[in-house]
Amino acid sequence: MDPESVRFMAREICILRRLNHPNVMKLEALVTSRISGSLYLVFEYMEHDLAGLASAPGIKFTEPQIKCYMQQMLRGLEHCHSRGILHRDIKGANLLIGENGVLKIGDFGLATSFKPNQKQPLTSRVVTLWYRAPELLLGATEYGVAIDMWSAGCILAELFSGKPIMPGRTEVEQMHKIFKLCGSPCEEYWRKSKLPLASSFKQQNPYKRRIADTFKDLPPTALALVEVLLAIEPEKRGTASSALSSEFFKVKPLPCDPYSLPKYPPSKEYDAKVRDQEGKRRKAEAGKGHGGETTKKSSTQAKEEPTTELNAHGQGQLTKNISVKYNASEDNRAGFSVEPPALRYGLGQSNSVIHPNIAGYTWSNKAKEDSNTINERAYPASQHGAQLLRQGSHKTRVAGEFSSIRSARDDRSSRGDTTVYVPKRSRILHSGPLMPPGGSMEDMLKEHERQIQEAVRKARKDKTRT
């Protein structure tokens, strides 16, 4: 192993040794390989993760079950925060569930130590995009437990609605979705925060808060807790302890016992991705079998295939960077009126790269900065007891995105492909640029959508040639 990987793994090991709670994954052992020189962390085998269960066909959680899962997650977070640990990647795929119904927080690869009363600069390039707090998107480097509480609020609303509530494809779009749902920050927030990217996202026509309207079918106590956890101002989100003492967990129906939860077949986020790919493959085969009668369907499928190739070119290999993409067309469960993604088969939830020209970033120094926060580890999975296990789903590989984009660009040059399909004035390489000074967010989103569509068309033409 290279020294950098050892350093990051050592940090994670130190963090895990400080934690000891029923709702937090426990480090069982360390295993080294003399042949490969790899170091493996050993954890208890967990049959499910919350993302896999929530997306499994035929599974719809009841209110007592949702309260049970949320209560366990918040207890685990309460323990982490009391020990001075920020998780910084709370999402369904990192909430592992055993056969006995016990939920445990896993994957501490992005976790860090913090002191509540001490200001210390931290990276804002953490948390999967769909669950990232607005202050992180605005470039905050001083933050605390509020970023984990925002993620918890997203998960609570997602469990009730049956789908991700803000599935943005880029940082610009994610920020826009947050403002449309949670409302634009007030003038006092902009004035006090002094965040690096505030001027890029500040709007001339602020949005009104729409959480109560969007989630009007939620139980009143659940809606009240969502309102608190998804507050734009970090200090208003409270703590895990205050969330546990909310009325949501006190009124009937009360949280059920974890051991009374139904027994499900093993289901993880990766299984959901496999099901999604298998469904697309069968749909494509069925379209080919019907010949001319399915010309329209085949045309639609032809648009789907290049997107996968585009993601592969633009985001590198998906061997370790696995994430599940919400597919609105295949979601037949009841939910709330949340705006779906404009491009269903666009970039995944963790595919977000800040524009290199903003705030003095360059390809080289940004990759170096992010390499100091992302740890690439190997956790071979096993289904036999507490053996080697890759904990939860794979993290985003921010540092790898830059190198993969550069290699894709170099590959096109080596093939003699010099076609320019993105205007030089706003070239984004499918990463989502931040809004230039004086620009309109609406115009930026329209331009970004046009560039994505153009990239998809080019990818389809390239595939046709080959």
Dist. CA 136–CA 150, nearest whole Å: 11
Of the candidates 77, 169, 184, the residue with the CA atom closest to the CA atom of residue 138: 184
Instruction: Tell me the pTM.
Output: 0.65
Q: Are both 243 and 304 inside the same structural domain?
A: no
Q: Is residue 79, in this structure, part of any structural domain at all?
A: yes
How many angstroms from the chain centroid is the CA of residue 9? Answer: 22
Across the chain, mean pLDDT equals: 74
Of the candidates 462, 331, 465, the residue with the CA atom closest to the CA atom of residue 60: 331
Residue where a domain stops, chosen among 234, 260, 286: 260
Dist. CA 69–CA 156, nearest whole Å: 9
Angle between helices 295-315 and 441-465 (to 10 degrees): 100
Q: Is residue 286, in this structure, part of any structural domain at all?
A: no
Question: What value, to the nearest 5°, has the Cα angle with vertex 363 and ends 311 and 131?
Answer: 55
Nearby residues of 111 by Cβ (< 8 Å), 6 or more positions away? 12, 15, 80, 85, 86, 87, 88, 89
Dist. CA 141–CA 120, nearest whole Å: 8
Q: Are both 310 and 240 inside the same structural domain?
A: no
Q: Is residue 123, in this structure, part of any structural domain at all?
A: yes
Q: Is residue 45, in this structure, part of any structural domain at all?
A: yes
Of the candidates 321, 329, 372, 371, the residue with the CA atom closest to the CA atom of residue 349: 321
Q: Is residue 293, in this structure, part of any structural domain at all?
A: no
pLDDT digits (tens, 9 = 90+) for 62-76: 999 999 999 999 999
Structure tokens at 422: 């993105």
Structure tokens at 339: 């705006």
pLDDT at 440: 62
Active-site residue, 257 included: no
Residue where a domain stops, chosen among 201, 235, 260: 260
Q: Are both 246 and 342 inside the same structural domain?
A: no
pLDDT at 216: 95
pLDDT at 441: 63
pLDDT at 415: 45
In contact, 344 and 331? CB cutoff 8 Å:
no
Of the candidates 323, 271, 324, the residue with the CA atom closest to the CA atom of residue 56: 271
Q: Are both 416 and 348 inside the same structural domain?
A: yes
> At 241, which CATH number?
1.10.510.10
Among the listed residues 2, 49, 89, 370, the single catalytic one is: 89
Q: Are both 225 and 361 inside the same structural domain?
A: no
What domain range is 251 assigned to?
A: 3-260
Q: Are both 221 and 352 inside the same structural domain?
A: no
Dist. CA 356–CA 360, nearest whole Å: 7
Q: Are both 238 and 96 inside the same structural domain?
A: yes
Nearby residues of 160 by Cβ (< 8 Å), 6 or more positions away? 66, 215, 218, 222, 336
Dist. CA 321–CA 397, nearest whole Å: 6
Structure tokens at 305: 């295939």
pLDDT at 442: 66
Q: Are both 456 and 332 inside the same structural domain?
A: yes
pLDDT at 290: 60
Domain count for the chain: 2
Q: Is residue 265, in this structure, part of any structural domain at all?
A: no
What count of residues does the chain have?
466
pLDDT digits (tens, 9 = 90+) for 441-457: 667 777 777 888 888 88
The secondary structure of the chain, three-state, reads: CCHHHHHHHHHHHHHHHCCCCCCECCEEEEEECCCCCCEEEEECCCCEEHHHHHHCCCCCCCHHHHHHHHHHHHHHHHHHHHCCEECCCCCHHHEEECCCCCEEECCCCCCEECCCCCCCCCCCCCCCHHHCCHHHHCCCCCCCCHHHHHHHHHHHHHHHHCCCCCCCCCHHHHHHHHHHHHCCCCHHHHHHHCCCCHHHHCCCCCCCCCHHHHCCCCCHHHHHHHHHHCCCCHHHCCCHHHHHCCHHHCCCCCCCCHHHCCCCCCECHHHHHHHHHHHHHHHHHHHHHCHHHHHHHHHHHHHHHHHHHHHHHHHCCCCCCCCCCCCHHHCCCCCCCCCCCCCCCCCCCCCCCCCCCHHHCCHHHHHHHHHCCCCCCCCCCCCCCCCECCCCCCCCCHHHHHHHHHHHHHHHHHCCCCCCCCCHHHCCCCCCCCCCCCCCHHHHHHHHHHHHHHHHHHHHHHHHHC
Q: Are both 189 and 250 inside the same structural domain?
A: yes
Q: Is residue 271, in this structure, part of any structural domain at all?
A: no
Q: Is residue 191, in this structure, part of any structural domain at all?
A: yes
Q: Are both 319 and 225 inside the same structural domain?
A: no
Q: Are both 308 and 226 inside the same structural domain?
A: no
Q: Are both 325 and 218 inside the same structural domain?
A: no
On the CB side of 399, how many CA atoms lie within 13 Å of its CA?
12
Residue where a domain stops, chosen among 233, 260, 287: 260
Extract the residue ranges of the chain whose pLDDT is less than 50.
292, 294-434
